[in-house]
Structure 1
Amino acid sequence: MDALETFIVESAIDSETAFYRQIIEDNLSSLKLGPAIGRIKVVLRPEDSLFQMAIILRDVGTKVTTLDMADVEAKTGASHEVVISIKKERYIPALLKKLWARHGKANIRQPDRWTVAVDSDNPQEEAEFIGKMIVADPRHTLHEDLVDFAIRVTPEGFRVRYHLFKGNRFVFVASEEAMDREWIEEAGAMLEELMAGGKTK
């Protein structure tokens, strides 16, 4: 796991601090979120049945289009198809999923691992569309992974939840009780503290 710039876990109960720190480390590793997270602070308040988390993200990358991971060519001879020549193999599953949704599996062929062919009545127009198509959006996937991570490390039974993902900031608050607006504001203050550069504990 990439070293975090800041990693703070606070609880009134010392044994909980070490326990939750380990849970957080294990889940960061299993979800492979370490490279995406720069700073994290978690506060547990058992007396309020409260769990708060604030995260500052590192640069997570930009959207990937088909042209970022392949060459796209329209064939207008006897075949009438769009031929996609793969340059970055890691995006093939995501590309195929999008092509199947648009054209149906019957109209997609993969003669070898580096080539995908799409049957089309208008190959030129379709090649332009496919070239600009978003194949992967790291931020969308990251949002889902962050929520999953937060739920995994939250104490059992804390089913009242709030989260906010904006820019490079993520806040998560959970409780067994009705959500108090002040708790969300406190988590926002934790975020500001991290932005200012909190220290590792």
Structure 2
Amino acid sequence: MDSLETFVVEATIASEQEFYRKIIEDNLSSLKLAPAIGRIKVVLRPEDSLFQMAIILRDVGTKVTTLDIADVEAKPVAGEIIITIKKEQYMTELLGKLWERYGKANISQPDRWTVAITIDKPEEEATFIKEMMVADPRHRLHENLVDFAIRVTPEGFRVRYHLYKSNHFVFVASEEALEHEWIEEAGAMLEELIEGGKK
């Protein structure tokens, strides 16, 4: 697991501190989130039925276009576009976008590194495909962060609040109705992490 700049777990019951630290580490690893997270702080107060988490993310990159992951070539005589894959990790997203636009019947995959699209105006469509957004890592990261937070939250803490903005993520959960001050406390935890990174 990538080392975090800051990894703090506070619990009012000492035995739960290491237990939750291990749960968090295991889930960071299984969801492959560690490279995206720079700093994390978790506070657990069972007596208040309260779980709080603040995270500062590392830069996860920008939107990925087809040209970022493949070469695109129009073949007007053959009436097709050939896409040669350079980065395979986005293949599922690329195929999904192509199927949606051109239909599965017009797309073939002669090998794992090549996608061929049979089409009427290959030059025009090749220009579109080159600039087409294939994936947005930030969107996927948001989903994974929420999944991670829910996984590490104590059983039964079903009343939840989260905020994902810029490179910050705050999560609060409880068995009871959430108190406004708990959300403010989580915001203060985030500020503490931000300040800690400036030292």
TM-score range, shorter chain: over 0.9
Distance 2:22 2:111 in 1: 44
CA distance in 1, matches of 2:90, 2:12: 45
TM-score, normalised to structure 1, is: 0.94
Matched, 1:183 2:182: yes
Instruction: Give aligned pairs, total.
Output: 197
For 2:110 and 2:3, the matched residues in 1 are separated by 42
Match of 2:13 in 1: 13
Report the CA distance between 1:168 and its aligned residue.
0.8
The alpha carbon displacement at 1:93 in A equals: 2.0
> What one-letter code is carried by the residue in structure 2 that aligns with 1:83?
I
In structure 1, the residue matched to 2:173 is: 174
In the alignment, structure 2 segments of 5+ residues that lack a partner are none
Query: Which deviates more from structure 2 when the two are superposed, residues 145-154 or residues 119-128?
Result: 119-128
Provide the C-alpha distance between the structure 2 equivalents of 1:12 and 1:89, rounded to a whole number of angstroms. Answer: 46
Q: Quick one: which amino acid aligns to residue 76 of structure 1?
A: P
SS of 2:4's equivalent in the other structure is: coil
> Within 5 A, what are the aligned runs for 1:20-169?
20-77=20-77, 79-169=78-168
Structure 1 residues 83-138: Cα deviation after superposition (integer angstroms, max 9, x where no partner): 11112222222211211122111110111222111122221221111111111211
Question: How far has the Cα of 1:2 moved from its partner?
Answer: 0.6
- 1:149-194 superposed Cα distances (whole Å, 9 cap, x missing partner): 0000000111111111111100000011112111111100000000
The runs of at least 4 aligned residues of structure 1 exceeding 4 Å deviation read none
The structural deviation recorded for 1:15 is 0.8
Q: Percent identity?
A: 78
One-letter amino acid matched to 2:25: E
CA deviation profile, 1:24-64 (whole Å, cap 9, x unmatched)? 01101111111111110000111111100000111111111
- SS of residue paired to 2:170: strand
- In structure 1, C-alpha distance between the alignment counterparts of 2:111 and 2:21, rounded to whole Å: 46
Cα distance in 2, alignment partners of residues 54 and 100 from structure 1: 39
What are structure 1's unaligned runs of at least 5 residues?
none
SS in 1 for 2:71: strand
TM-score of the superposed pair, with normalisation by structure 2:
0.95
